[in-house]
Chain A
Amino acid sequence: MLNRQVAPKLTPIKSIDFSVPEMVEIHAGIPLYWKNNIANETAKIELHFNAGTTIETPILASLTAGLLISGTKTKSAIQIHHALDAVGAYYDVSVSQEQAVVTLYALNSYLKQAFDIFHEALTNAIFPEKEVQEICNERQEKLKVQLQKVNVLAQRKIQQVLFEETPYSQVISQGDYATVKRTDLIAFYQKHYLKGLSKVFLVGDFSKDVMLDIKTACADFVGKTFKTENCSFSGKAHIEHQEKSDALQTAIRIGKIMFNKTHPDFISFSVLNTILGDYFGSRLMSNIREDKGYTYGIGSYMMENTHFGYFMIATEVAKEVREATIQEVKKEIERLQTELVPEEELELVKSYLLGQLLKAADGPYAMLDLFSGVELHGMDISFYNKYIQKVQEITVEEIREMACKHLDWKSLSIISVG
């Protein structure tokens, strides 16, 4: 007879198989990584360019990225899009602080054709004035919508606060669209796309010759090797509330500059971060959503760049509980600094993290993303074996130590809008 009160026995995860993609060099220091043996007919190529928002200005980075397929001397934007459609390809461009990533998705039998179309469009892009105006209009309208959202306003503000006086603090404002010139975009494109390739990730089951052809073509985007410059941040905590009278909720962001994977405390701190706010059963969710019902969601997360990282708590709460929420966050952090986490809770988080890592390593696309996460820092895949080991070994005392060392309440900036 089934006793429903007894949980099934669990089997822990002891090890995970990680694999590395094949690597060829496009040029010294500019790798192409290839994952083949794909069980289905999907394929993609990701081109990473040193063309993020910090390299010059966010407006140039964002508009140039949006205009990569805007026409050449012989083909209009519409013709190029039709050509990509004819091989069933999709493409998107995402711009982060340090990189712009162009991704093409297609069936493996068409990926090479899609890439050739894209390659021709990109190497010969002329940025027609008309296209520049169109994208400015579209983006400006979208920004107006964004700037009415409290979460967007709070996010922009904390970015300005944390990264003050560095290129990382820059955000796009309405006025930027009026002053941007086509010639600036062309200059940006020539410098950071035609000579800005930093690496390529390729997934798909095709012959080695196809991969080598792509590799050869990628050399057209190679310039001198580029190193992201290190920044120093003031680290000064700043507290500010911006009133928005018509808002129904208040967005809260609490954060500080942190480290990335290269730091010895990274893994231990990520376990702490999970306990605090990075899973559904976290301290913040249990208290602020599941006990108090102040919010639909609250979470903490760690973001990484080449030379540093940052830590952030984010939520939207009922307007009248803004102060109460901030106090509860403070209380939860202080509890982690003064009390030991119960063994059972730590065990749960360990199992959860290893289960999530197993999932993050499941399938060629996921595995390549994992690899990309260490490659960025010049580390190798063995990082994840160290991660498993460290997660298994970490003690409740170390968790408390991490909280004291890195989450001093006075070191955190607090921004609220609403």
Chain B
Amino acid sequence: MIHFERFKLENGLTVLFHKEASTPMAVVNLLYDVGARDESEEKTGFAHLFEHLMFGGSVNIPDFDGPLQAAGGESNAFTSNDITNYYDVLPAHNLDTALWLESDRMLSLAFTDKSLEVQRNVVIEEFKQRYLNQPYGDVWLELRPLAYTKHPYKWATIGKEIKHIEDAKMSDVKAFFKKHYHPSNCILCVIGNFELDYVKERVDHFFGSIPKAKKSARILPLEPAQDRFKSKTIVRNVPADAFYYAFKMPERKNPGYYLADLLSDIMGREKVSKMYVDLIKKQKLVSEINAYITGSMDEGLFIITGKLNEGKSFADLDKEIWKIIAHYKTTLISKKELEQIKIKLRTARAFQDQGLLNRAMNLSFFELLGDANGINEEQEIYQSIQAEDLRTFANQLFAKKNGVLLKVKKKKNA
């Protein structure tokens, strides 16, 4: 059980506080309710580029990292298709430093041309390093537009193409800030050995005077229901043929989300899953295979992916994948296997909860979903899932017209 307190400032900032008496450190986590799905199709990669700019100095403080490091702390951030999350970890007695820095960059950025110019280049190098200069690195740049035709999940967080980042203008940056970076679009979470009154007072001191702005409504294009199975083949300089089956799965707040998550754990289990045993051990069809979910807010993807062994064909694989899928549609998972998965989940969760930062991010994320207390209810949902639920769900999920397939074919003589 993770105890927390919640309060709201007059300007709309939601604050969560979780007391942890055993640590000398403090965590300050800010989740902004903005991600790549909030970008326009002509200007993708913006939420992430913006995250970089948030470290380029704010209206009253020229340098973000310096003062935090001088306080013995460290900071970083990540952007997803759904959210942008910033965090600071520092000695608890210097909590003020993190609140001071974070509140100033929520108030306003410095917006220098130099910072924009440099971060554009840095992000372009990140684009190359992570997406273009790695075997299979561009798979998500291809898979997303295959799976989504309307919804902004059709582009990756890094952006659709490098050009969008090159073209980013200062006026775009300012407009983006104004729209998404204000108190009512943020959830602040503080963890440390503090008293609630103290946290209230310090947070109000630094954040209270930031002007209120209206949280803009999020109206995203709805992804039309898919009516047929789609597949695409790309040829790349890769060492082995790879496949990515993707099935549309329920959004984060849907109970089906948990079913998808558990089913992916069962199907993707290393060394013992049916897929592993049948395709790797018995048939020697693939060298690796896995199943996982994207875990997104809106309709997400359930992925089955792996690499073919030399000399095996996509057609052979396809037959086998559908056999495996048919198995989960018709056969109940044994009680024993379900129990194993559930206890593994409990272990994983206990280890995750150990980390302060993890707790802060999870509390913030559940608050965004509607209630931070979701963090304490999630295990119960998983533990209550029955084999019948999973079988019923598999029948919905794995309807053929609900899926897409991306094949990455090895270039000849590569």
Contacts and interface: CB of A to CB of B under 8 A. Distances in A.
Interface string A263-297: 00000000000000001110000000111111110
B347 A316 contact: no
B172 to A, nearest CB: 18
Contact of A293 (B120, B205, B209): B120
B346 A279 contact: no
A195 interface: no
Interface stretch (B126-134, B223-231, B322-330): B126-134
Contacts of B60: 4-5
Interface stretch (A46-54, A211-219, A244-252): A244-252
22 contacts: A2-B209, A5-B60, A9-B96, A13-B91, A42-B350, A85-B340, A85-B341, A86-B339, A88-B344, A138-B280, A144-B240, A148-B237, A248-B128, A249-B125, A292-B118, A293-B122, A295-B122, A296-B126, A296-B130, A349-B69, A355-B69, A355-B74
A359 B94 contact: no
Contacts of B128: 248-249, 318
A415 B22 CA distance: 46
Given A296-B126, A317-B125, A355 B100 contact: no
Interface stretch (A76-84, A223-231, A233-241): A76-84
Contacts of A2: 205-206, 209
A351 B97 contact: no
A42 B351 contact: yes
B344 A85 contact: yes
A267 to B, nearest CB: 17
A39 B2 CA distance: 13
A4 B61 contact: yes
A85 B89 CA distance: 34
Interface residues of A, number: 72
Nearest to B340: A85
Interface in B123-178: 123, 125-126, 128-130, 132-136
B287 interface: yes
A134 B348 contact: no
B22 A363 contact: yes
A23 B351 CA distance: 24
Contacts of B353: 40
B277 A42 contact: no
B136 A280 contact: no
B399 interface: no
Contacts of B284: 137
B116 to A, nearest CB: 11
B72 A13 contact: yes
A318 B120 CA distance: 13
A112 B348 CA distance: 17
B368 interface: no
A221 interface: no
A8 interface: yes
A4 B110 CA distance: 14
A68 to B, nearest CB: 12
A86 B343 contact: yes
Interface in A310-328: 316-318
B269 to A, nearest CB: 8
B107 interface: yes
B23 interface: yes
Contacts of A105: 347, 351
Contact of A107 (B71, B206, B238, B346): B346
B93 interface: yes
Given A5-B61, A362-B25, A280 B347 contact: no
B108 to A, nearest CB: 10
Centre residue among B66, B90, B205, B341 by max chain A CB count within 10 A:
B66
Contacts of A352: 69-70, 72-74
A317 B126 CA distance: 9
A296 B347 CA distance: 35
B255 interface: no
Given A8-B97, A85-B340, A293-B125, A355 B91 contact: yes
Centre residue among B91, B118, B130 by max chain A CB count within 10 A:
B91
Interface string B61-93: 100011101111111000000000000011101
A105 B287 CA distance: 26
B271 interface: yes
Nearest to B98: A8
